[in-house]
Structure 1
Amino acid sequence: MTGSEAATANYAEDNSQVGMQAGVVHGDVTIYSTPPAASPTERFEIGVMLLDGGQPSKAREVISEAVMAGLTGSRVCFHWQLALVSGRAWNEMPDADAAALRQAPSFCRLSGGDAWADGVKTVLQLMDAAAKPNTDLRPLLKDFDNLAEPQRGMILRHLELFLEGPLKNEIWDRALDEAREEQMAGNRSERVWKYFHPNPAGPRFLPVRPPVIPAGTRGRAVCGAVVLGGAALNLGYLLLRDLQLLTLLVYALGSGGGFLAFRAGTEWHYLTERLHAKDREFRRPQEFPSRAKPSGFAGKVDQRFDRYFARYVPRNASRQTWLDGTAGIRKILRDEMVEVYREQRTSVEQIAWLIRYRVSEVRRQWENGALWGYRRELAVPLGTKAATLLGLAALASGTVWTMADAARTAPVNAAVSALLALVAGRVAVRARMRIVTETRRHAADVAEQSRVQEGCQAAFERWKRKLADKPTDPEMAIWLDRDRKVLLSDALDHYGLTMSDVIAHAFIEAPGSPTRRARVPQGPPRYTRYRLLLFLLTKDGIRQLGADLDFERGTFHDQARTNYRYEAVAAVRVRQADDGDHSFELALVNGELVKAEMLAAAIDELHVDETHATVSETMLDAAGLSHTLHVMEGIAAEGKRWLEQERPRKADPQGRAAAWTAATPRAATGAPRT
């Protein structure tokens, strides 16, 4: 906690940076959103999710609204009770909430006979025992141990701060056993990472460029073919008229050679053009040093491509060779992604899977040599070249022979026909080659994109199946609660304390570094790494423990402990910025400063009906800051006197028993209200 060269022990120093690799809002999840016209039942179910998600303040509000609207039942009563006590100690509860807690069974018209009603009665019994420390705990604990799940586990989770004395130790032991046994339950280590990935966006592609064949080109092809055909027929007529049968045979062979040369030459031309086009894709793009790097969506896409191309280096190439060799295709893929997703309100995180897949495919093709396989596929075969050259030779020979014989009988007619045939043939061949090349280019592009689409769609389905068991936000909250209990237990063991020795304890949760974050709308941010700060208030002073939590593995690292007397606390401050940022500061009289940043401003992905202020409020509720402030501000204001006053308040059974007298037998038995 204290740097070797610093005079201040900082939990998160002013100049420290929290590494944020990604921020995700699961916009398709609405478990915490309360529609204005929601029915009492709908409000209650949302309140249950808020309670499970570690937002007790909001849960109290929503469940109370449902109850006041007339919703009743043992399940309603049980969750209302837990919402009223969750996240705060007995002396932090307002009188109105204490009255609601006492009257909950009658308000909800509790009737026995199910596990929820048993849970309600158990909570009441625990409240009675907490108010009367001399109560024999053995029957109560036996009933508690026989309580069904999930009621038993929920009580262990939400009554942590509310109970005192011997009962506190007993319930804590059970809560700790449950936390250690279930800390990694639900295949946590294999599922947590999925929470930080949004539901993926489906693959999209630019439409294949249609064949670009101007009408003039088609016209030249048709007209040229007609003129060529007419000139050829006229030459044939001249030979046939004069019965030059040998020359006519040579003429036919020359014409056949010309047709063969056209067919083979068109194939040669197409393959050459296609090869040059593919080579241009791999050509390193021209760089413009003065051009600013793109920002926003395009900039994030750039970063992802740079990251994955730098990470997925083929086994048979150096990093620089790989990056240089794929610069062109990298730019093409990047430009396509930016173009097809820019206006679709899609985040980069939603297409990260597609970027990874496309990069991995480039690497796979590089490794097996298929990346340049087009050069083999588009290489002009020797047979095509030979057919073109032989056909041209036959055409030239036949033309010369034919013209020589035809010129003897009809020199002008033969010359005009030959000239027309030459000009029209050249026009028709060039136009027809362009038409064929463009048509085949389009067909090849369609076939190539179809193959890519099939691969991307299969990868998309695989990724969706992989994320199908993504944990819910309440699951994340429960795992975090168990981690906190484990850390609290480690602190108690280190200092040789029991839970009843602790007058009060409080946590501060802040994002670790580096970390990724994600949240559901109206929910608090969850992190892959946390920095937890624990305060234990004992009769001898304050025990402070800080630790980094690797949330995926449930392990703690870089623990740091500090101890100080109550008189050493100079001030406790919570600063709130206009953008919702909060920082907690604990100043000691020797100038040391313990500071934790709760970064709401870093959350720039806001959902509908959200503001930085509402997100900040949710974050602080989930982090339990109100309880922490109650404890630490009391110490800062009164020092040990707060401790001396707090201990009698907790130890005096009369005040608590008097406050609990309204928990009548009728309420305890669940008789309906009259």
Structure 2
Amino acid sequence: MTMTDFTNTASGDARVGYQAGIVVNVNGSYKVPPGATPEEIFRIGVEFLKARMPLEARKLIAKAIALGHATEEVHFYRLLAQLSGKNLRELNSDDMEGLKTICAELPTPHGNDDWTVGLRSVASMLTYFSGADEPALLDKELAGLPPLQRELIVDHLGELLDGSVQDRMWLRSVERAGQLQLANDRENRVWIFFEPEPRRPRRRYAGRPRFRFADLLLAIISGGAFLYAVGSIGWLLAQGGKATLLLAYAAAVAGTAVSLWSGSAWHFRAQRVRAKDAELVPSRRRRRDAPAGGFARKVDQIFDDCFGRYVPRDTDRSYWLKQTRGLRERLRDEVVDMYRDQPVKADEIAWLIRHLVADVKQRWQKDTLTAYRQRWRTPARIQATCLAGLLALAGGCFHIVPAIVSESPIAGTGWVALALIAAVICAPALFAILGEYRRIPADQTEYDEQYRTRSLAYQRWADKLAPRPSDREMADWLECDRKLLVDKALRQYRLRASQVIAHAFIEAPQRGTKRARVQHGPLRYSKYQMLLFLLTDDGVRQVNFLHDFENADSFPIVRLNYRFDAVAAVRVHGSPTSRQHFELTLVNGAPITALISETIDENIRPDEDVTALSEATLDASGLPRTLNVLEGVAAEGKEWIRYQQRRIEHRLEVLGDILGPFRSTRR
């Protein structure tokens, strides 16, 4: 075994910071609706095939044919699904039986429409292997195909070819992959696939006034006592009949009403400023950590992350976090309270948290975090009105109290004392009640403004997510990446495509990756660890890549060379519905391991099956094909090449027998 400045390790088990898997709603779902027509079933099967999931495609296309939908287009795609991504060395007895069954059901292709011509060309490729055609003739026929059919054949059946035809076809395939790798604005769209569908902002309502029952009781009792005492004082003054005292009494009553009303407004504004100030101060009571893995804990993590990243310019991070701790707590509690009663994922409202934190940052930079103080500062007219009322009350009392006490010492003194005590008790309770009735419209105005700005932020984010790629586009981009990685490895080892007996991938999610899927579709990852195996006459060439799918960038981290007989064992352990690991054991080396699938236990829809989802993910990764090749190598060792050559010769004979009827229909 030749080592090339790398170590014999390919551990893909370690994972850090996984984003919870999300399900996105995009066109091209793989759901077969109830009562689907045979043609609809066929179209969904084609979507599976184009998304590199041939196993499920075969089932659905065969089902459509069994239900009576059997056109040349259907048979064309059925052949592609049966042979997609395979070469002659990988066709096993089941594949040959399936091919035999398909060919037995094929109609005689006499027409000249695009699908019939494509169907004949697939048969031409197969008869080429059985010795019926020359490479030049096959090359010419492929070049004369309609563009769609030619691209499909080259894309799915290119590996069936060998020799110079395979080399030319591979160069075309790589050139096309290079052209399509960044097609459809991949660089600016692929990240959107991993973003969850955002939840709309929720409108907040101020609700009803909230005050203590004790305040209401005190206000009623003490207020009633105050009014009764004031009325009694007025009756005593009326009996005296002095106009000056009656005028003073009227001034005192008016001053009392004015000072109470304007004073309550003054008190409310002062209280509101104090409440807003308190929101900036961290809570003194010890906050308990939210349960791990719960909605509140994830909201905490997003808030911490956003406040850690959205630091205002020219501001120390630690100072920023310290000064905004109280506001961070208040915003976190608001978000949790708004959404915790709904089945909402924290990632679905991450846009809202980012908006809130960005708003705090903007206000910090503009020095408007305490702008509420200016807004709720008591106007001079209210202060003047309140003071004028108090002066009128004081002036009236200055004339009334001595007069009434002198004229009626017992009764007058009692009513004055009762009025004073009742006023002292009633005023705070009345201010609290009136303050609540003032708070409701003030809060509602603030909430409506928040809802307006949050709705605009939501719409901006939704518009940004509008060009979300389909799963089909994700599969096409990933397939282009695979082809270019294989080409890079071929160039590194100075090999031609025809010199490679077979190549296979193991695709493992890389640590710190994001993941997402469409309904009924496979998991897609933002970062992969790809293990590429090139099987040649000299043994196995393995190259491990770290592949950043979002940025279409990759670099090799390990290169290994070993003989076929150095492979001691290949196995996959773990349940298909949980975490599965691939392990390749070398005779004289440490095991090469990789995490190839994980538990799909989040966001499972009622009509989805976990086993089917796991199988779709593994099918899309090409794992069944890879295991078929590597298990054969592990079982047969250095004899694998010789055995493969015998199997190929036998399969060519079988192909010749199967395709005999089609040779007479060739143009």
2:272 corresponds to:
274
Q: Kindly provide the CA deviation profile for residues 362-381 of structure 1, in whole angstroms up to 9, marking residues without a partner as x.
A: 22222222222222323344
Q: Structure 1: how far apart are the matches of 2:602 and 2:241?
A: 90
2:453, 2:599 → 1: CA distance? 39
Relative to structure 1, is the Cα distance of residues 161 and 467 closer, same or farther in structure 2, using a 3 angstrom cutoff?
same
Letter in structure 1 aligned against 2:343: R
Mean Cα deviation higher: 600-609 or 180-189? 600-609
Distance 1:184 1:630 in 2: 31
Match of 1:12 in 2: 11
Map of 1:570-589 to 2, 5 A cutoff?
Answer: 570-577=568-575, 579-589=577-587
Q: Name whichever of 527-536 and 579-588 sits farther off.
A: 579-588
Residue 373 (structure 1) aligns with: 371
Unaligned stretches of 5+ residues in structure 1:
670-674
Contact 1:281 1:329 in 2 (8 A): yes
Show the counterpart of 1:392.
390
Q: Is the 8 A contact 1:129 1:137 kept in 2?
A: no
Q: CA deviation at 1:420?
A: 5.0
For 2:21 and 2:296, locate their aligned partners in 1 and report how far apart those are by CA, in whole Å: 17
Shift in Å, 1:646: 2.0
- Distance 1:519-1:236 versus aligned 2 partners, 3 A rule: same
Aligned CA distance change for structure 1 residues 222 and 276 (closer, same or farther; 3 Å): same
- Contact kept in structure 2, 1:103 and 1:662, CA below 8 Å: no
Deviates more, 1:291-300 or 1:190-199: 291-300
Structure 1, 214-223 or 334-343: larger mean CA deviation: 214-223
Kindly indicate whether the alpha-carbon contact (under 8 Å) linking 1:73 and 1:110 is maintained by their aligned counterparts in 2. no
For the pair 1:353 / 2:357, whether they are aligned, the reply is no
Residues 127, 538 of structure 1: alpha-carbon distance in 2 compared, 3 angstrom cutoff: same
Q: Which residue of 1 aligns with 2:521?
A: 523
Please state how far the C-alpha of 1:59 moved relative to its aligned partner. Answer: 0.8
- Aligned residue in 1 for 2:430: 432
Q: Which residue of 2 aligns with 1:638?
A: 636
Confirm or deny that 1:443 pairs with 2:444. Answer: no
Which shows bigger deviation, 450-459 or 319-328?
319-328
SS in 1 for 2:184: coil
8 A contact 2:129–2:652 mirrored in 1: no
In structure 2, the CA distance between the partners of 1:188 and 1:27, relative to structure 1 (3 Å rule), is closer
Given candidates 246, 253, 259, the residue that maps to 1:261 is 259
Distance 1:181 1:28 in 2: 28
For each residue in 1:604-636, what CA deviation from the matched residue of structure 2 results, as whole angstroms up to 9, or x when unmatched?
A: 453435555433322221121222222222222
Distance 1:215 1:536, change over 3 A: closer
Look up the match of 1:96.
Answer: 97
2:166 alignment partner AA = K
The residue that corresponds to 1:60 in the other structure is 58
Question: Residue 573 of structure 1: SS of its match in structure 2?
Answer: strand
DSSP-derived class of the 2:370 partner: helix
Are 1:87 and 2:85 an aligned pair?
A: yes
**What letter is aligned with 2:580?**
H
**Structure 1, residues 236-286: CA drift from partner, whole Å, max 9, x if none?**
565566553344444433333333322331122111221222223222123
Q: Deviations over 1:107-138 (max 9, x none)?
A: xx867454333332332222222333751425
Distance, in Å, in 2 between the alignment partners of 1:141 and 1:330 is 67
TM-score, scaled relative to structure 2 = 0.90
The 1-side partners of 2:2 and 2:237 are apart by 108
**Change in 2 beyond 3 A, CA 1:582/1:478:** same
Give the deviation of 1:315 after TM superposition.
Answer: 2.1
Q: State the partner residue of 2:127.
A: 128
Higher mean C-alpha displacement, 192-201 vs 339-348: 339-348
Contact 1:522–1:615 (CA<8 Å) still a contact in 2? yes
What is the CA–CA distance in structure 2 between the aligned matches of 1:634 and 1:528, rounded to whole Å? 31
* Bigger Cα displacement from structure 2, 30-39 vs 56-65: 30-39
Residue 18 of structure 2 is aligned to residue 21 of structure 1: yes
CA contact (8 A) 1:531 1:549 kept: yes
| Shift in CA distance, 251/604, structure 1 to aligned 2, threshold 3 Å | closer
For the residues of structure 2 that align with 1:639 and 1:485, how far apart are their CA atoms? 27
Worse-matched range after superposition: 38-47 or 658-667: 658-667
Aligned AA (1:66): A
- TM-aligned CA deviation for residue 656 of structure 1: 5.4
Structure 2, unmatched stretches of 5+, are none
**One-letter amino acid of the structure 2 residue matched with residue 342 of structure 1:** R
Kindly state the Cα deviation for residue 74 of structure 1 after the two structures are TM-superposed: 3.0
Q: Which residue of 2 aligns with 1:672?
A: none
Q: CA RMSD in A?
A: 3.2
- Aligned CA distance change for structure 1 residues 603 and 168 (closer, same or farther; 3 Å): farther
Aligned amino acid, residue 495 of structure 1: Y
Match of 2:324 in 1: 326
CA distances 1:211-255 after superposition (whole Å, capped 9, x unpaired): 025677567656766665565566556556655334444443333
Please give the per-residue CA displacement for 1:391-440, whole angstroms capped at 9, x wherever unaligned.
Answer: 32331221121233445555566445544543554455444322220011
Q: Kindly tell me: are residues 193 and 322 of structure 1, through their superposed partners in 2, closer, same or farther at Cα, counting changes over 3 Å?
A: same
Aligned residues of 1:132 and 1:657 also touching (Cα < 8 A):
no
Structure 2 Cα separation of the partners of residues 654 and 292 of structure 1: 65
Distance 1:3 1:563 in 2: 7
Q: Which amino acid aligns with 2:142?
A: F
Find the aligned partners of 1:398 and 1:341 in 2 and give their Cα distance.
Answer: 56
Q: Secondary structure at the match of 1:531?
A: strand
| Residue 65 of structure 2 corresponds to residue 33 of structure 1 | no
SS of residue in 2 equivalent to 1:532: strand
CA shift digits 1:503-556 (9 cap, x unpaired): 111111111222111112332211111111111122222221111111112121
1:46 matched residue in structure 2: 44
Equivalent pair of 1:133/1:166 in contact (CA under 8 Å) = no
Quote the offset at 1:162 in angstroms. 2.4
Mean alpha-carbon deviation: is it higher for 224-233 or for 274-283? 224-233
Matched-pair contact (CA < 8 Å) for 1:354–1:456: yes
| Mean Cα deviation higher: 613-622 or 470-479 | 613-622
Report the CA distance between 1:459 and its aligned residue. 1.3
Out of 266-275 and 118-127, give the one that drifted further: 118-127
Counterpart-to-counterpart distance in 2, 1:156 and 1:23: 37
CA contact (8 A) 2:570 2:584 kept: yes
Superposed counterparts of 1:462-541, under 5 Å:
462-541=460-539
Instruction: State the 1:477 CA deviation.
Output: 0.8
